[in-house]
């Protein structure tokens, strides 16, 4: 039994507000690598661990068509089981009834699937993303005791004991955070999945964490599951993380895992520039095949604008050091429009006047950019 594990595709993602980048072509190129692999190496099952899409709304027509067509292409090689993640458009499940005819299962609520895969009985407990708020009824008071009871009621339903006795393999497929890990430093309402629960299954296929890693038992170091890590690096916080897909092989003695990073993925880089960018800096950033965040020291708005004109630069942050402040003070704007907007915010102006001034400023700035004689 060989299982391919992938997830956190985030199809349709557009990143970096000041200089938006549609990441769809990059994501599609990476996912095509999975098809290339499957044409050479057989697998028995494909697990998709959630966040197929990036936004809670339907994808644009062509992108939605591409997604379903891609899932059907995967199913030509092996059955495809996917759960919805926290980013997914919930309407994806509307395709499930028809998709199952092609061996594509899209699961939006806790469900146990019993499949015959290559002559072996496989029991899959599929658990989509859920947070504590979604399992509290409107009449309940939001106390920690009520919250814990509600969470436990869900966790009690997740057990391989519900699988038939003749199941060869018992898998858990979910989108969530394993106990002891963190998705956000700001805290969330997510329900951590206990490691002791994972240890009850033969293996767990996980999504949500954008960094490929194996999950092990704290005491025995046995591999309990894996996060494939996603497809594209969506933010500079993921610069050093890994994304790809796993092959989990149960065919020999013990479980073996093989990680395959995506080669079509664009790299991220953070650099510091002092003052106006030199010709070498401009050359280096122009030829970089990826996305760059620049911290600009002792620069001005002209330098900011010049940096944003470079193809790879998607984020610029001004940084200044004042004589009476030993710590770096980051100026929270990254374009001329935003800088002027913050300046107007400090003036004692009516909101209508402030909006008109900002609109005129943006208009004049646009004309200046388009005027080749300036």
pLDDT score for 267: 96
pTM of the predicted model, to two decimals?
Answer: 0.82
Dihedral over Cα of 280, 285, 286, 289: its sign: positive
Share of the chain above pLDDT 70, in %: 83
Question: Using 50, 70 and 90 to split pLDDT, how confident is the model at 371?
Answer: low
Instruction: Express each pLDDT in 223-252 by its tens digit.
Output: 999 999 999 999 999 999 999 999 999 987
Q: Which two structure tokens, joined as six digits, stand for 248?
A: 């989990």
- Determine the Cα–Cα distance for residues 265 and 13; give it in Å rounded to an integer: 14
Instruction: State the average pLDDT over residues 292-317.
Output: 92
Reply yes or no on whether the pLDDT at 333 is more than 80. Answer: no
Reply yes or no on whether the pLDDT at 144 is more than 80. Answer: no
Instruction: Give Cα 262 to chain centroid, integer Å.
Output: 15
Reply yes or no on whether the pLDDT at 140 is more than 60. Answer: no
Mean residue pLDDT across the chain: 85
Instruction: State the average pLDDT over residues 171-197.
Output: 76
Helices 24-40 and 61-75 pack at an angle, to 10 degrees, of: 10
Instruction: State the average pLDDT over residues 247-261.
Output: 92
**Least confident interval from 140-149, 188-197, 306-315:** 140-149
Reply yes or no on whether the pLDDT at 185 is more than 50. Answer: no
Instruction: Express each pLDDT in 204-224 by its tens digit.
Output: 999 999 999 999 988 888 999
Name the more confident of 333 and 86.
86
pLDDT score for 162: 79
Share of the chain above pLDDT 90, in %: 54
Instruction: Express each pLDDT in 121-132 by its tens digit.
Output: 999 999 999 766
Q: Which two structure tokens, joined as six digits, stand for 170?
A: 């018992």
pLDDT score for 251: 84
pLDDT score for 14: 94
The Cβ of residue 298 has, within 10 Å, a number of other Cβ atoms equal to 13
pLDDT score for 259: 98
Question: Using 50, 70 and 90 to split pLDDT, how confident is the model at 142?
Answer: low
Residue pair 24/13 in contact by the 8 Å Cβ criterion = yes
Instruction: State the average pLDDT over residues 351-365.
Output: 77
pLDDT score for 67: 94
Residue pair 202/248 in contact by the 8 Å Cβ criterion = no
- Determine the Cα–Cα distance for residues 82 and 71; give it in Å rounded to an integer: 10
Question: Using 50, 70 and 90 to split pLDDT, how confident is the model at 187?
Answer: very low
Residue pair 243/229 in contact by the 8 Å Cβ criterion = yes
Q: Which two structure tokens, joined as six digits, stand for 296?
A: 């600009």
pLDDT score for 183: 59
């Amino acid at each position: 039994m060989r299982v391919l594990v992938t997830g956190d595709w985030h199809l349709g993602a557009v990143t970096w507000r000041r200089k938006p980048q549609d990441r769809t072509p990059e994501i599609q190129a990476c996912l095509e690598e999975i098809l290339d692999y499957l044409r050479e190496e057989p697998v028995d099952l494909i697990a998709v661990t959630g966040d197929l899409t990036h936004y809670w709304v339907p994808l644009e027509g062509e992108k939605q068509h591409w997604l379903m067509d891609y899932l059907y292409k995967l199913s030509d090689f092996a059955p495809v089981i996917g759960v919805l993640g926290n980013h997914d458009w919930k309407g994806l499940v509307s395709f499930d009834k028809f998709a199952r005819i092609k061996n594509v299962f899209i699961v939006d609520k806790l469900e146990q699937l019993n499949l015959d895969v290559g002559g072996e009985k496989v029991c899959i407990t599929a658990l989509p993303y859920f947070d504590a708020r979604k399992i509290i009824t409107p009449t309940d008071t939001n106390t920690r005791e009520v919250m814990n009871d509600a969470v436990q009621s869900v966790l009690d339903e997740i057990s391989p004991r519900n699988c038939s006795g003749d199941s060869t393999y018992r898998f858990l497929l979910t989108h969530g955070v394993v106990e002891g890990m963190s998705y956000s430093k700001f805290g969330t309402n997510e329900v951590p999945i206990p490691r002791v629960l994972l240890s009850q299954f033969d293996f767990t296929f996980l999504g949500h964490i954008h960094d490929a890693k194996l999950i092990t038992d704290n005491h025995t170091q046995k591999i309990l599951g894996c996060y494939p890590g996603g497809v594209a690096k969506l933010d500079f916080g993921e610069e050093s993380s890994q994304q790809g897909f796993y092959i989990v092989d149960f065919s020999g003695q013990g479980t073996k895992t093989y990680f395959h990073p995506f080669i079509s993925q664009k790299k991220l880089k953070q650099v510091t520039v002092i003052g106006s960018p030199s010709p070498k800096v401009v050359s280096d950033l122009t030829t970089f095949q990826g996305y760059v965040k620049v911290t600009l020291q002792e620069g001005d708005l002209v330098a900011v604008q010049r940096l944003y004109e470079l193809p790879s630069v998607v984020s610029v942050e001004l940084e200044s050091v004042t004589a009476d402040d030993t710590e770096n003070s980051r100026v929270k704007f990254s374009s001329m429009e935003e800088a002027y907007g913050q300046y107007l915010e400090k003036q004692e102006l009516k909101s209508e006047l402030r909006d008109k001034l900002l609109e005129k400023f943006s208009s004049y700035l646009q004309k200046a950019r388009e005027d080749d004689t300036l």
